[in-house]
Amino acid sequence: MCAAIVLALGMAGCGNAQEQHTSQSFVMDTVFDQTVYADTVLVVASNTQLVNNIEALMSKTIPTSDIYKINHSLGHDVSVNGETARVIRASLQVAEQTEGAFNPAMGDIMQLWGFGTESENVPSPERIAKVLELSDYTKVEVKDGNLVNSNGVMLDLGGVVKGYALDSLKDNLDLMGAGPALVSLGGSIYARGTKPDGAPWTIGVRDPFGSSTDYMGTLELTDMCISTSGSYERGFTEGGVYYHHIIDPATGYPAKNGLVSVSVMDEGGLETDLYSTALFVMGAEKGVEFAQEHEISALFITEDKKLYKTGSFVDDFQLTDEGYYTNH
């Protein structure tokens, strides 16, 4: 009888307007929140399954994943899912475009540092120099027929999977005829349509100097994605020094250029994730130049609270915290 009551209440709202469905799950080591207006509650479960499927393909730790197989293939061709091949290809393109600021071949270096695991530690300069030689993304080949040969290099798609998931979610929501939606996967967000009352989705940009729920400015997003790379996440302290997890592929050490976060917005989720990482590594000066040159909308926050904005951030970003200084 209780089940009947729950079912009845669940169906009670099924009128003309699409119903709001929300869900929270944990995947890719982070929180996945969804708010979707749709005709069926099945959408949220479908979305959750989809993100889990992506993790199953692209996680570097799941032994049956494409990435794990590539990383343990000892220089042989590995047949992978078309999605994996696509993501690797896109990653390699951006790696080349950014001259390695984004590098999908950081598996060895990230494993050495051990961020987020019990073995997180500061490796010796000798060991870092050694694994640096193993992070050559130019060795990775993606061949016709979705064959990948990493030629001994270890892939790590941590800096791109969440953004890719946003694109997949968009396609899934299209497929299922969903209305407005807001999906957030560890801070990578896709804002679809506008809320039923006509108001746009309002996204806060996390205050790097506050807690995870403090924000220093807002953006109204419609049919857009946004991702942020910040030095405040997944770092650790050793010997009184804080080491963040965005490793500069050129040095093997956390990027140390005065930036604390970079946010990128774009219609494509994959782009937001790839470029937020790359621009963070580049630093403000080179990053702003690159973003302007390639028409990327980005927000750079420095450790002395200066802001640099390119593209749509210039007009659309509303600063809500007076403690920041906007340049130009």
Partner 1 sequence: MKNSDEHIIKISDIVYTAAILIAALVIFALVAGGGKGQTVVFKLDGEVLAELPLDKDATYEVQGAYTNVFAIEGSTLRVTETNCPHQECQKTGAVSAMGASIVCAPNHVSATITGEGVEIDAITG
Between 36 and 78, CB nearer to partner 1: 36
Q: Which is nearer to partner 1, 179 or 187 (CB)?
A: 187
Smallest gap from residue 83 Cβ to partner 1 (A): 24
What's the min distance (Å) between Cβ of 317 and partner 1?
12
Q: Quick one: 60 or 195, whose CB is closer to partner 1?
A: 195
Q: Which of 246, 241, 275 is nearest to 260 (CA)?
A: 246
Residue 187 or residue 283: which is nearer to partner 1 going by CB? Answer: 187
State which amino acid sits at residue 76.
Answer: H
- What span, in angstroms and rounded, lies between the C-alpha atoms of 55 and 121? 26
Q: Are strands 224-230 and 259-266 parallel, antiparallel or unpaired?
A: antiparallel
* DSSP codes of every residue in 67-93: HHHHHTSTT--EE--HHHHHHHHHHHH
Instruction: For residue 38, give the 3-state DSSP assignment.
Output: strand
Least distance in angstroms from the C-beta of 95 to partner 1 = 23
Binding site for partner 1 (CB under 8 A): 2, 5-6, 9, 13, 20, 23-26, 29-31, 33, 35, 116, 118, 182, 184, 187-189, 191, 195, 201-206, 208, 211-215, 218, 226-228, 230, 232-233, 261, 263
Q: How far is the CB of 210 from partner 1 (least distance, A)?
A: 9
Per the DSSP assignment, residues forming a β-bridge with 241 are 238
Q: Which is nearer to partner 1, 19 or 83 (CB)?
A: 19
Tokens (6 digits) for 224: 């857009």
Q: Is the CB of 118 or the CB of 126 nearer to partner 1?
A: 118
How far apart CA 154 and CA 169 sit, in angstroms, is 27
Residue 151 has a CB neighbour count (10 Å cut-off) of 15
Smallest distance, partner 1 to C-beta of residue 71, A: 24
For 197, half-sphere exposure in the C-beta direction (CA atoms, 13 angstrom radius) is 2
Least distance in angstroms from the C-beta of 174 to partner 1? 20
DSSP character string of 117-158: STT-----HHHHHHHHTT--GGG-EEETTTEEE-TTPPP--T
Kindly state the tokens that stand for 131. Answer: 């694994």
Report in angstroms how near the CB of residue 187 gets to partner 1 at its nearest. 5
Kind of pairing, strands 325-326 and 306-309? parallel
How far apart, in whole angstroms, are the C-alpha atoms of residue 283 and residue 302? 9
Minimal distance, residue 237 CB to partner 1, in Å: 11
- Residue 97 in tokens: 């475009």
Instruction: From residue 138, give the alpha-carbon distance in Å to each of 99, 100, 155, 231, 288.
Output: 11, 9, 12, 27, 25
Q: Give 12 or 74: the residue with its C-beta nearer to partner 1.
A: 12
Tokens, residue 146: 């979705």
Closer residue to partner 1 in complex, CB, 166/281? 166
Give 66 or 233: the residue with its C-beta nearer to partner 1: 233
Shortest CB 256 distance to partner 1, Å:
20
Look-up of token digits 């807002």: 218
